[in-house]
Amino acid sequence: MKLVRSLGRITPALKQFPEKEKRIGFVPTMGAFHEGHISLIRKAKKENDVVVVSIFVNPTQFAPNEDYEKYPRDIRRDREKAKNAGCDILFCPDTGSMYPKGYNTYVEVKKAAALMCGRSRPGHFRGVTTICAKLFNIITPDTVYFGRKDYQQALIVKNMVNDLNMDLKIKILPIVREKSGIALSSRNRYLLPAQREDAKLLYQALKKARKIIRAGERDVSRIRSAIRKVLNKPGINIDYISIASPDTLKRKRKIDENVLIALAAKIGKVRLIDNMLVGVGIKNKGAKIC
């Protein structure tokens, strides 16, 4: 595996691989790898000739009050993990070369980016789409891999790729969970033992919702109440409960198609998200994301 730390060296590094019908798989990350990331790298390795993984803690997707400075950085450990999972080029550019002085351009997906996490994290998705556009132009991948835990992010990036006629495919892979049910996240390491117990309830709440939908419930307000009941603990501060169209993220009143159930909550100071797609045997109208 080659480690590339400079923006100027990534194109020559890519050119060292034989050109003919070279398929490039790309996994953009902020590092602090867990099994979710590793599953993306492994899948990319299976499906491509060259696998590029980027580690870049992107300042433009953090709001001023968020944890940009404290976001976990552990390049030495990540390096080993990426290598073992099949990464060919690990790309870790510095912030100054990605956003040089006078940097001035932003890519924005409207509508879906204003919902769910967009409400409590203004500017977040604009930062995500901007850095993805840049990285896609630098790496020129055939396929880019995202995890479904960040469902909204993956949907928005997919919208951007379609709208801007980018010549690449987005693949979204399943959420990887601990045995306890907690969805893997780089921020889980900040949970205290008692908070871990609370964190488990996010998945419990999703499963509860799925169970009552499968039993025939179609009224969204009753499903929301059931979720809220599971999460009703002093240590849990719900940001949103969204029962929405998987294609547009618009909230539903009645369940008349497959739905996305998405949650965000603060457990102490740690903001966690989780989601589940629940099928009700009705074909969705729009494009399916998963």
> For residue 65, what are the contacts with CB-CB under 8 A and spacing of at least 6?
none
17 contacts a second copy (rule: CB under 8 A): no
170 contributes a contact to a second copy by CB under 8 A: no
x/- mask, a second copy, residues 234-263, rule CB under 8 A, reads ------------------------------
- 93's enclosing H/E stretch is none
Q: Which stretch binds a second copy (CB under 8 A): 69-77, 110-118, 198-206, 267-275?
A: 110-118
How far is it, in rounded angstroms, from Cα 7 to Cα 24?
18
- In the numeric block, which tokens belong to residue 59? 């300042």
Distance CA 125, CA 107 (A): 9
Say how many CA atoms lie within 13 Å of 247 toward its Cβ. Answer: 8
CB of 75 to a second copy, least distance (A): 22
> Which of positions 80-109 make contact with a second copy (CB under 8 A)?
102-109
Q: Among residues 30, 51, 52, 166, which is the contact residue for a second copy, using CB under 8 A?
A: 166
The stretch near a second copy (CB under 8 A) out of 31-39, 137-145, 216-224, 262-270 is: 137-145
Decide: is 8 part of the binding site for a second copy (CB under 8 A).
no
Q: Is 21 among the residues that bind a second copy (CB under 8 A)?
A: no
Q: Which of 24, 27, 37, 182 is catalytic?
A: 37
> Does the protein bind a second copy through residue 114 (CB under 8 A)?
no
Q: Which is nearer to a second copy, 24 or 109 (CB)?
A: 109
Burial bucket for residue 227 (CB in 10 Å: 0-12, 13-18, 19+): buried
Position 160 contacts a second copy (CB under 8 A): yes
Cβ atoms 236, 201 nearer than 8 A: yes
- Any contact of residue 269 with a second copy (CB under 8 A)? no
**C-alpha to C-alpha distance for 168 and 103, rounded to whole angstroms:** 25
Considering the complex, state which of residue 107 and residue 223 has its C-beta at the smaller distance from a second copy.
Answer: 107
Residue 37 annotated as catalytic:
yes
Q: Which two three-digit tokens encode residue 69?
A: 């400075």
Q: Smaller CB distance to a second copy: residue 23 or 46? A: 23
Residue 70 in the binding site for a second copy (CB under 8 A) = no
Which is nearer to a second copy, 241 or 260 (by Cβ)?
260
The answer to whether 284 contacts a second copy (rule: CB under 8 A) is: no
Of 151, 211, 159, which Cα lies nearest the Cα of 175?
Answer: 151
Torsion of CA 246, 252, 257, 259, to 10 degrees: 40
CA proximity to 133, closest of 61, 31, 74: 61
Q: Are 81 and 31 in contact (CB under 8 A)?
A: no
Min. distance of Cβ 155 from a second copy in angstroms?
11
CB 94 within 8 A of CB 5: yes
Q: What is the number of other CB atoms lying within 10 angstroms of the CB of residue 163?
A: 10
Cβ of residue 105: shortest distance to a second copy, in angstroms?
A: 4
The residue ranges that bind a second copy (CB under 8 A) are: 7, 102-112, 129-130, 133-134, 137-138, 140, 159-160, 163-167, 286
Catalytic (active-site) positions: 37
